[in-house]
Amino acid sequence: MRKNNIAAERKKVGMTQKDLADNLSVAQTTVSGWERGAYEPDTSQLDKMSSIFDVTIGYLMGYEESNYKPSTMHEIRTGIDFHKWDDNRFLEEEFRSDEEVQYEKELDKEKKYTEHVLRQHWLNSKLPIHFESFYINRALDHMIKSERARLLQIVQLAFPNAFTRIFEGD
């Protein structure tokens, strides 16, 4: 019998078995049976618990070790777990030269400073737009027409609903 993570996730969010049972319209004894592994929830119950606990169904049922849910369309489409990639990148640091590590740190510093300066420009501009929009507009100002067109294609593919909302008036 595989150990599931239902009880652990329920406790993380501060729910009792009764609270979870009420949310799922089942008896408390049913939740108890799931947690003990006596039987498994049906797919609709798993889907609801996955949403409540913000974990994957595979993790909830003990099939996966990580409760990581992909958050970007690219991660969903490619199956790439960028959190694991970042962990591996840091593990590889010990195999990189001091110069490479220092160069990356300088790039990170420069990026943070650039974002800070840009944020100050945005605040001073008093434009009624989100900072992210301001940031993107500044980047677009420094692109040639073909680069802007390509970026627009990529954004339309990644976020098709956003462009539908433009014509619906938000």
Taking the complete model, does pTM exceed 0.85, yes or no?
no
Statement: residue 76 has pLDDT above 50: no
Whole-angstrom distance, CA of residue 16 vs CA of residue 28 = 9
* Token pair for 135: 């940031």
Residues 6-46: pLDDT tens digits?
A: 999 899 888 899 999 998 999 999 999 999 989 889 888 88
pLDDT over 70, % of the chain? 76
CA dihedral sign of residues 169, 51, 77, 42: negative
Statement: residue 66 has pLDDT above 80: no
The full set of domains in the chain, from first to last, is 6-69 (1.10.260.40), 88-168 (no CATH)
